[in-house]
Structure 1
Amino acid sequence: MVNASERDGVVERIQAVRAWWESDDPAPWIAETSGSTGRPKQVQLSRDAVRAAVAASAQRIGATGRWALAVPPEFVGGFNVIVRSLAAGHVPVVVEDLDFSRVDADFLSLVPTQLHRVLDAPDDLRRFHTILVGGGPSDAAVRTRAKEAGLNVVATYGMAETCGGVVYDGRPLEGVRIGIGDDARIRISGPTLFDGYAGIPGSGPDEGWFTTADAGSFTDGVLAVFGRVDDMVITGGVKVATPAVAARLRQHQWVRTAEVLGVPDPEWGQRVVAFVVGEVDLDDARDWVGETLPRSWAPRQIVPLTRMPLLDNGKVDRQALLELA
């Protein structure tokens, strides 16, 4: 998140991106992955790939203008906010502590956690032409609340290796192609792909395709993302889609937020563990999940939390959760 105490560093990052964007030096921009599931990687993004991503995004949302920067600029989401604004002839407006009361901008990018936090006071957000939400799955209930509040929210899917979001509300941007591998992994091709990881020769796209760590389906031109392949937990011989379990738990009236992971277990192979900020016990959670999902998907352990551990980019710190379990 962008905090008031970090403003000087954010401004310096904007200046660095601007210098790169306006330079003739062919050196790529280095975008670091979040490291939510392991060691971060240094992703090399060419200027051509970034330009393609900027143009495709502007074409899809139907306008260009000034962007508000409310996400960390060191990750690809914040980097995209900066270059999109620069491409439109503006310097982005730095938003401190999610205070939008005096922000003069047309577009905004948030992570799902931020959107959830600001929906209690949405008035200041109605000024934005479009609000992109990416960096992780967003709950359908939260997006419904946003639309009911009069906000034009677009869910995006992508990663550093694709120059950020390249699928908007399930539909690929212009020039982007989607494939599904035999193992259900999502594959992406197009002009926005990275060149490779710094220091790792031959790590770029394979014959023009990047294979993600996510499982999904692509039907009638619409991509459905099921979650990370390693989120598909096998417990007692049953395959469980933990993102679906987490989404169901977040719909409970006494749950503020929840994440669900598989943890090694001597009896089950992996046991389904729910990390919950809210007031719900194990029996209630299992009954709630079992109402709409297979009972065998219900969590076998609840870890109560006062707050969800987050990385600097707003994503859930999965390693911290696994250590808690």
Structure 2
Amino acid sequence: MRLEPVESHDPRAVLRGLRAAVLGAGPAIALGGAGIAAPAPEVPAGTALVVTTSGSTGYPKSVVLSRAALTSGALATAARIGEGAWLLALPAGYIAGAQVLVRALVSGREPAILSGTFSPSAFAAAAAGMASSAGGTRIPAYTSLVPAQVATLLDSPEGARALASFEAVLVGGQALAPALADRAAAAGARLVRTYGSSETAGGCVYDGVPLDGVGVRVAGGEVQISGPILADGYLGDPDRTAAAFLHEGGTRWYRTGDAGAFDGALRVTGRVDNVIVSGGINVSLDRVEAVVRTLPGLLAAVVVPVPDARWGEASVVVVDSDAELKAIRAAVAAALGAAARPREVLRVDRIPLLPSGKPDRVTLRALANGGPVA
């Protein structure tokens, strides 16, 4: 099957490509194709989308998603939160944005698209333009955001009102801080925490509960996902595909690399590999970061590893506001033990973000280690 690159920064071009790939006969489209050699290779029959992203680790991956995987995710979302109209307020070149467009296409409704730079006024205008009804009944509106966007909207009365006008707002990309969730609830907004990745055709676990047809297990401390929403694998990388997708007893499982627990509700505690050994003691930097983010003014803080001459490895807290190292170390020690205490605080004017809304940890690690920033 032919694969056609599409300009990821043009949401309307992405929409046109997805309309043909998901509802028509194709061709499949490629988004973020820096990792795809030219000319674009053939892809398996039934492929709708290949999305290439370096993610927060900097390692490029081209994820092959079938029409069936994308539509399964869209239909399961509608079954869980309801049907209605969708607003695209995320970059269309990433799976979360592309899946907003797929949900709109599957529902038979044209998506609204936020134009220009994201801001409370632009979001409010887009939300107001979605108001419509059928047979005298209001059509519910939905959107998908990352936590940083939610925080921006809640800082503006206009944005907070617009946020509350949606039937539900899917929030993913990174953990949703409890304080931010509480602010949204107080403003009358219904946030739905989502968990997923490009390999699962976007969010597949909502508020800890898997969507219909999605299986979740924790094996060896790692969260693994099964179901019709799984990607076919990585384009041109059979070894990586075999390592990430397991076949057991007739079921195919995706190894997420996330640590967590599942007892009917999924709780993700961090990355399996985001662990340092400091003075011979394993320290989860995800847990350190979670503690730091509970402190006033540190909701956006990011914790990154650095070498340490005495302890082998240590951590640095990167912040975009004033922060006192002594208070941070005390809070972390009380929650996780003395070995987990960060070594220092690094202040930056602004936390660099990837287009997906996640912190750019590759850049932050370079800054913390005093090396060149790519």
Q: TM-score range by the shorter chain?
A: over 0.9
Corresponding residue of 2:51: 31
What is the CA-CA distance between 1:142 and the residue it aligns to?
0.7
| Secondary structure of the structure 1 residue equivalent to 2:224 | strand
| Secondary structure of the structure 2 residue equivalent to 1:28 | strand
What is the distance in 2 between the residues matched to 1:270 and 1:116? Answer: 33
What is the distance in 1 between the residues matched to 2:299 and 2:323? Answer: 10
Corresponding residue of 1:22: 23
Corresponding residue of 1:72: 91
What is the distance in 2 between the residues matched to 1:285 and 1:181? Answer: 33
| Secondary structure of the structure 1 residue equivalent to 2:102 | helix
Query: What amino acid is the match of 2:234?
Result: Y
- 1:215-226 paired onto structure 2 within 5 Å: 215-219=259-263, 221-226=264-269
Corresponding residue of 1:165: 203
Query: What amino acid is the match of 2:16?
Result: Q
What is the distance in 2 between the residues matched to 1:278 and 1:291? Answer: 23
What is the CA-CA distance between 1:237 and the residue it aligns to?
2.0
What is the distance in 2 between the residues matched to 1:167 and 1:94? Answer: 25
Corresponding residue of 1:210: 254
Corresponding residue of 1:44: 64
Corresponding residue of 2:29: none
Query: What amino acid is the match of 1:91?
Result: E
Corresponding residue of 1:234: 277
- 1:54-73 paired onto structure 2 within 5 Å: 54-61=74-81, 63-73=82-92
CA distances 1:276-300 after superposition (whole Å, capped 9, x unpaired): 1111122122123334442332211
Corresponding residue of 1:3: none
CA distances 1:135-180 after superposition (whole Å, capped 9, x unpaired): 1111111111111111110100000000011111111111111111
- 1:168-207 paired onto structure 2 within 5 Å: 168-182=206-220, 184-201=221-238, 203=241, 205-207=245-247
CA distances 1:105-160 after superposition (whole Å, capped 9, x unpaired): 40010111211221112111111000000111111111111111111101000000
Corresponding residue of 1:295: 338
2:190 is aligned with 1:152: yes
Query: What amino acid is the match of 1:115?
Result: V
What is the distance in 1 between the residues matched to 2:177 and 2:84? Answer: 28
| Secondary structure of the structure 1 residue equivalent to 2:300 | strand
Which segment drifts farther, 69-78 or 100-109? 100-109
| Secondary structure of the structure 2 residue equivalent to 1:217 | strand
What is the CA-CA distance between 1:22 and the residue it aligns to?
1.9
What is the CA-CA distance between 1:34 and the residue it aligns to?
4.2
| Secondary structure of the structure 1 residue equivalent to 2:165 | coil
Q: TM-score, normalised by structure 1?
A: 0.92
What is the distance in 2 between the residues matched to 1:210 and 1:196? Answer: 10
Question: Is the contact between residue 9 and residue 93 of structure 2 (CA under 8 Å) also seen in structure 1?
Answer: no
Q: TM-score, normalised by structure 2?
A: 0.80
| Secondary structure of the structure 2 residue equivalent to 1:146 | helix
Query: What amino acid is the match of 2:325?
Result: L
What is the CA-CA distance between 1:87 and the residue it aligns to?
1.1
Which segment drifts farther, 233-242 or 64-73? 233-242
Quick one: which of 145, 150, 153 aligns to 1:110? 145
| Secondary structure of the structure 1 residue equivalent to 2:315 | strand
What is the distance in 1 between the residues matched to 2:154 and 2:286? Answer: 22
How many residue pairs get aligned? The number is 317
Change (3 A) 1:193 1:7: closer
Corresponding residue of 1:259: 302
What is the CA-CA distance between 1:27 and the residue it aligns to?
3.2
Corresponding residue of 2:38: none
CA root-mean-square deviation: 1.9
Which segment drifts farther, 38-47 or 8-17? 8-17
Question: Is the contact between residue 243 and residue 259 of structure 1 (CA under 8 Å) also seen in structure 2?
Answer: no
What is the distance in 2 between the residues matched to 1:212 and 1:268? Answer: 30
Which segment drifts farther, 102-111 or 63-72? 102-111
What is the distance in 1 between the residues matched to 2:275 and 2:87? Answer: 36
Corresponding residue of 1:285: 328
Greater relative CO (CA pairs within 8 A, separation 6+): 1
| Secondary structure of the structure 2 residue equivalent to 1:226 | strand
Corresponding residue of 1:89: 108
Query: What amino acid is the match of 2:186?
Result: E
2:181 is aligned with 1:143: yes
What is the CA-CA distance between 1:233 and the residue it aligns to?
2.4
Question: Is the contact between residue 32 and residue 76 of structure 1 (CA under 8 Å) also seen in structure 2?
Answer: no
Which segment drifts farther, 101-110 or 48-57? 101-110
Q: Determine which structure has more spread, i.e. the larger CA radius of gyration.
A: 2
Structure 1 alignment gaps of length 5 or more: 1-5
Which segment drifts farther, 203-212 or 151-160? 203-212
Change (3 A) 1:254 1:313: closer
